[in-house]
Amino acid sequence: MKEVYIDTPLGIATITGNKDGITSVSVTKESTNTPSIDIPSHLQNAVSQLHEYFEGKRTDFNLVLNPEGTDFQKKVWNELLHIPFGKTATYLDMAKRLGDPKCIRAAASANGKNPLWIIIPCHRVIGSDGSLTGYAGGLWRKKWLLDHENPVKQQSLF
């Protein structure tokens, strides 16, 4: 398992993976790591695609993913992949899509354990009232990501 560090507008991100796929992407509130210079070949595509995302040139990812989690967590993470770029869903929407509106808390918990920051777009899940509820990377990062994906366009008055 190898890990590399990349600079993003939201802090230093850590990408971990091997020949079987990307196992995690995370950003921490404070990082003493510096961006990696030598990127292993099996992580180069992930690094490139994340840079393209932050540059506004990519709206979805085409990577081999290999996250570790329970079967239920993986089911939730798979559902997250169906939330389109620039759109949001509520935790209740997620529970319904999983087939059981009563599993809302379990779905929210699995959402919070998503090991693949941005690539599996857990930031696109919001509260039923439209609020930006819990986000492991900090609510300011969630707001930034949602604004990045759906910027408000100023309309011309003329």
Catalogue the active-site residues: 122
Written as six digits, the tokens of 3 are 């890990």
- Record the tokens describing residue 85, joined without a space: 């770029």
Which among 118, 119, 110, 147 is positioned nearest to 132, based on CA atoms?
147
Residues 6+ apart with CB under 8 A from 145: 10, 118, 123
CA distance 155 to 148: 18
Query: Residue 111 corresponds to which amino acid?
Result: N
Report whether 47 contacts 39 (CB < 8 A): yes
| 99 vs 158: CA distance, rounded Å | 48
